[in-house]
Amino acid sequence: MDKVYKVDKLEFLYSSKADVLYISFGKPKPAIGEETDEGFILRFDAKTNELVGVTIPFFKEVFGMPKEIHIDKPEPLNIKIPKEILAA
């Protein structure tokens, strides 16, 4: 049977330099990591063996996101509104 984990608080930290997403279930704490077949790292509390977080290396690559996102500044609109409309 699958185990259901109830989490009161999630904390996320993304390192753009390393392209790693760190997810902590509650306040981050020392843990032992175990790598999954997919390359994720499950983090377990060293004392209780409870799952306390997940580390996702190569986050953008894994989830098919572009390495860089460019957003162009929109051009200003030059709209002339007739005086009759403004006066109404």
- pLDDT in the model for residue 40: 94
Query: Which of helix, strand or coil describes residue 34?
Result: strand
pLDDT at residue 67, rounded to an integer: 63
The phi, psi pair for 59, rounded to 5°, reads -55, -50
pLDDT the model gives residue 1: 55
Residue ranges per domain, the chain? Answer: 7-65
pTM of the predicted structure, to 2 decimals: 0.65
> For residue 18, what is the DSSP state?
T
- The per-residue DSSP string of 40-68 comes to -EEEEETTT--EEEEEEETHHHHTT--S-
Give me the pLDDT at residue 63, please. 81
Positions in the chain whose pLDDT score sits under 50: none
